[in-house]
Structure 1
Amino acid sequence: MLFCGLKLTHDGSVALIEDNKLIFSYEVEKFNNNKRYSEIPDLDFVEEVLNLHGYTSADVDRFVIDGWAGLKESKVDTRSHGQELSLTVAPYREVSLSADALQAYSGSGLAIGGRTYNYTSYMHSTTHIASTYCASPYAVTKEPSYALVYDGGMYPRFYYFDPANGKLENLGPLFMYIGNIYSLFSLHFEPFLRGGQGPRVDDLSVAGKVMAYIAKGQVRPELLEQFELTYARHFSPSMEFNWTFSQEIKRYVDEHHIPHADAMASFHQYLEQLLVTSLEASVTKHGRKTRNFCFIGGCSLNIKWNSAIRESGLFDDVFVSPFTNDTGSAIGAACCEMIHQTGHPHLNWSVYSGPMVIQNEPAEGWESRACTVAQLAELLHTTDDPVVVLHDRAELGPRALGNRSILAAAVQPDMKDRLNAIKQREDYRPVSPICMEEHAPAIFSPGTRDPYMLFDHMLRDEWVERIPAIRHLDGTARLQTVSREDNPLIYDLLDAYENLSGIPVLCNTSANLLGSGFFPDVRSATEWNGTRYVWCNETLYEKQ
């Protein structure tokens, strides 16, 4: 069967599953240098991406749409062949603990390719769970797992899924801070201050910056206490609470002359502690039925929270998918219907299931020559110049994992500043290391397998002077490990570079225009003109 999942709101995407294999998941932002978080502009896009793989909309057995804001049902506005279209979809989440989290909602009027289709829709919280559980190792052996969904517009919602009986049990919220309070709180403090814009102003790009910036601050015990007191005095189940809470803390911070970086570092730590202690309490109350755990939603892009949960010892295994935020919602929608129709929860997938790179002509003033992977390694070693590397299909989710990356030697301390300047990023932003998996434990702590760059690692002391460019202000690194099975080309590149330099690590940051998705082609990477070199499919392009 062919299941086509659609995410029609921010982070718009189309995913196609055949039986239990992911054929593709195409995010709008990864086409034509579209802006990050772009919606599907027109349902013609669905037909176009299906055609890229030899399918048409008529081949699809079931279209499935991700749910959205609303408690009983929701309306999502889109366009089809230029015409306005409003579709009824599932709500954002359940209305009660006893509600069926796997409920399928039926709809009609989905106009694609000159035809109109019926469709199914599942709650947004449920598509999140399905996207990660079905991609997890637990699904392969049909093991049960706990699942925590913590997304921007919801409280941290805790579940237990047992594929043996197909039941998704809602264990309730862990606590009553919605996910986007992390960024909304930070918008009250420098350098993220957005004064006077009200309680519902958010910025999807802020959370990742805050996670980096808190390395400049110190955790203050008096603030941890103040957070508790302010919550007790002012909590209400509304978005206005985010504003009230943040304003009260801002007032306290200013009155006591506390550095703003300390306020954000303390709030980060406060939420981290709440996550761990609340998880422990909920698992104990539930009677601990498994030691597997999936962390899902935009908040699980926070590598420090992920690591804190993993290091807590509450679970034997913690799985976070590379498309854990809304970039995976189309996949999750299709997975919900896959489970419903087939009973099978396991998705056969690759993180490299995005659009194929387009090797078109470079911009004027660029010349090309043949360049093997070994020669690329030599270039990185001898020139210390960053290189845009474009290869095969794009990564799923927000992290560049070698196929749409800027790679560079990590041996010079100023490389981080150079890369941040090239990308027009703030100077406190870290640059990630990409490392051969078998060498990672000797260089990083814990240095465990981390192919999707989703956990925190400490750089070991003996490597601080050898690869200073990838060390964050707090001594940590957002490591990506690579095995030959993960990405043969990048593994061979690291292997060749290690043979030359003795270092199995390179800098890795995403290759994209500021505020846009990954470069889709050679032309746009060379027009950008941010680096001297662009490499694609064993061809090196050099700016003259």
Structure 2
Amino acid sequence: MRIISFKPHHDGTIAVLDASSAELIYSYEAEKDSFPRFSTITPTTVLDAAGRLDAIPDVFAVGGWERTGFARHVSDAADYCGIAAGSEIVGEKTIFGTRVHFYSSTHERSHLWGAYGMSPFPAGMACYVLIWEGVLGDFYEIDERLQVVHLGKVMPGPGDKYSFLYALADPKFTLPKGRLRYEDPGKVMALCAYGQTGKPDLDEQALIDFLLPRDHITQWLSKEELRNSPYYDIGVTHQKFTTLAKRFSDAIFDSFYTFAKKNLTKGFPLLIAGGCGLNCEWNRRWVETNLFSDVFISPCTNDAGSAIGTAVDAMRHFTGNAKIKWNVYSGQPFIFDELDQTELEVHPLDYGQVVSALLDDKVIGWVQGNCEIGPRALGNRSILAAPFSKETHERLNCIKNREGFRPIAPVCLEQDVALHFDLARPSPYMLFFQKVLDSRLKAVTHVDGTARAQTVSREQNSRLFQLLTSFKAKSGVGVLCNTSLNFNGTGFINRASDLLTYARATGLDGFVINDAFYLLKTARRAA
């Protein structure tokens, strides 16, 4: 049985599962191939995804979403919220003359079953699930028989509140009520490092008390309604705002921690789902609570994994199984279209040559195989550089055309992680903060001494492992800078012609595509 699943609205994705082998075949995200970040499903995505299949799938699954405006009259898809019986729609449809099964379940369920299905824990092991994102802020329990119990709503919309905070302080934010920017939460996470921990002062506590209990914040509150706030348009790098951001972030986490400490007492593993699962500081803090036997966050914990979750839910419905095999490199294959080589020196891939270029402070694009699922570059669509200088950090942010306060992540040999960072556990998906122990790693050390490291083993990514091993042999350090290979505001670059355009425009010194190393003859640094 083949299941094809569609995620509507932002972070549009198409995923295909083979239910007979319980395996993810692929997950194609609409933003990849240099489309705008958070894109809805495009005709290109549909054609690419359909082109990988040799027959019409047995099951078409559609994730749920809010029933507003025109959509409230559509009965073919489930709603946003709901986990109980009746929150799914089951039927049949005719697709290209073939009768197929149809399945739709809520967006809430897509997060729940995506986290469970992708988690490494065996079938039959009970788990807790935390879904925290733009709308939901809830805990659940999945028992040995796959029965789901809703343990409680801690806070509505923690992700939207986090995002609203940045908008309040940003003079450039002008969107009307009901609109927030999906990219802002990551910026708040970066700015928290500049803030001071401690008890909130009166102004901070007043805003925390005003925002945290509110439901549907985007529907009832606009930035302009807080014009009298001392934080209105104060500037996102202002010390008063960065300290507010840190204490606001702590207040959100503390609300969930207090609930978990009281109500999640069985020691089960915790599965984290939703966009707030990209907050690496919060993820680290969940590990350190010692409330759970383990903590798992998938690389597509945000809505990019929602299509996979709906497919898992459909598989559970039709087969009774809700566990899948998957690989983080299950995205779109790289497209090697026409590449003008007149400005390029082309060499067979030699790890020693690439390492020499990196040690000569060159910045290199690194492309291998299929792209990663989820928003983190994990060594198949990456920009790599040596990790030793602040100048490299500044240059990478300049290449990425993003704010100077944003950190640059490291990638590290898994066996060496304890030499350089204080969290001595694998972090293959770059989803935990670590304190940096190695003072040489200036390019990847954030202002508060932390980093968001990815660890790499030979089994996980053999070519990136080999590059890191070769870099360690020459430098003594198995660590590199690793940031995503993308134009500002778009998904990963996924074709050769775009990569060359990017290299010319930003000042990349060269790039690797599979087995070839391309150096620009007249490499220039971005201004």
Structure 2 counterpart of 1:488, one-letter code? S
Cα displacement (A) at 1:50 = 2.6
Aligned residue in 1 for 2:135: 153
CA distance in 2, matches of 1:255, 1:326: 29
Distance change (3 Å), C-alpha of 1:17 and 1:214? same
TM-score normalised by the chain length of structure 2: 0.90
Q: After superposition, what is the alpha-carbon deviation per residue over 1:188-242, rounded to whole angstroms, capped at 9, x for unaligned?
A: 114x6525x4442200011111110122222352348853786379955343687
| Bigger Cα displacement from structure 2, 201-210 vs 238-247 | 238-247
1:181 aligns with 2:161: yes
Aligned residue in 2 for 1:478: 452
Aligned residue in 1 for 2:182: 204
Cα displacement (A) at 1:405 = 0.1
Out of 259, 267, 274, which is 1:278 matched to? 259
Cα displacement (A) at 1:415 = 0.4
Alpha-carbon contact 1:366-1:526 (below 8 Å) kept: no
CA distance in 2, matches of 1:103, 1:375: 56
Q: 3-state SS of the aligned residue for 1:251?
A: coil
Distance change (3 Å), C-alpha of 1:387 and 1:271? same
Distance change (3 Å), C-alpha of 1:432 and 1:240? closer
Aligned residue in 1 for 2:89: 105
CA distance in 2, matches of 1:233, 1:273: 15
Aligned residue in 2 for 1:501: 475
Cα displacement (A) at 1:365 = 4.0
Q: 3-state SS of the aligned residue for 1:16?
A: strand
Alpha-carbon contact 2:168-2:231 (below 8 Å) kept: no
CA distance in 2, matches of 1:482, 1:181: 34
Q: 3-state SS of the aligned residue for 2:71?
A: strand
CA distance in 2, matches of 1:453, 1:273: 23
What aligned pairs does 1:160-239 form with structure 2 within 5 A after superposition?
160-162=141-143, 164-190=144-170, 194=173, 197-223=175-201, 227=205, 231=209, 235-239=213-217
Q: 3-state SS of the aligned residue for 2:309?
A: helix
Structure 1 counterpart of 2:31, one-letter code? E
Cα displacement (A) at 1:55 = 2.3
Cα displacement (A) at 1:28 = 1.0
Cα displacement (A) at 1:133 = 0.9
Structure 1 counterpart of 2:173, one-letter code? R
Q: After superposition, what is the alpha-carbon deviation per residue over 1:24-64, rounded to whole angstroms, capped at 9, x for unaligned?
A: 00001113x1111111124x74354232x3423x2x11011
Aligned residue in 2 for 1:27: 29
Q: After superposition, what is the alpha-carbon deviation per residue over 1:377-436, rounded to whole angstroms, capped at 9, x for unaligned?
A: 433444210100111010000000000000011122210000000111110111100000
Aligned residue in 2 for 1:431: 408
CA distance in 1, matches of 2:128, 2:357: 43
Distance change (3 Å), C-alpha of 1:101 and 1:506? farther
1:458 aligns with 2:435: yes
Question: Which stretches of structure 1, 4 residues or more, deviate above 6 A after TM superposition?
Answer: 254-258
CA distance in 1, matches of 2:318, 2:8: 23
Alpha-carbon contact 1:150-1:300 (below 8 Å) kept: yes
CA distance in 2, matches of 1:117, 1:344: 20
Distance change (3 Å), C-alpha of 1:74 and 1:165? farther
Distance change (3 Å), C-alpha of 1:102 and 1:410? farther
Aligned residue in 1 for 2:64: 67
Structure 1 counterpart of 2:396, one-letter code? L
Between Structure 1 and Structure 2, how many residues are aligned?
A: 513
Q: 3-state SS of the aligned residue for 1:305?
A: helix
> Which structure 2 segments of 5+ residues have no match?
522-527
Alpha-carbon RMSD across the aligned residues, in angstroms, is 2.8
> Which structure 1 segments of 5+ residues have no match?
78-85
Distance change (3 Å), C-alpha of 1:178 and 1:345? same
Structure 2 counterpart of 1:487, one-letter code? N
CA distance in 2, matches of 1:74, 1:129: 27
Out of 372, 380, 393, which is 1:416 matched to? 393
| Bigger Cα displacement from structure 2, 319-328 vs 337-346 | 337-346
Q: After superposition, what is the alpha-carbon deviation per residue over 1:288-335, rounded to whole angstroms, capped at 9, x for unaligned?
A: 344210010001100111111111111120000000001001101100
Structure 1 counterpart of 2:38, one-letter code? Y
1:375 aligns with 2:352: yes
Q: 3-state SS of the aligned residue for 1:221?
A: coil
1:350 aligns with 2:356: no
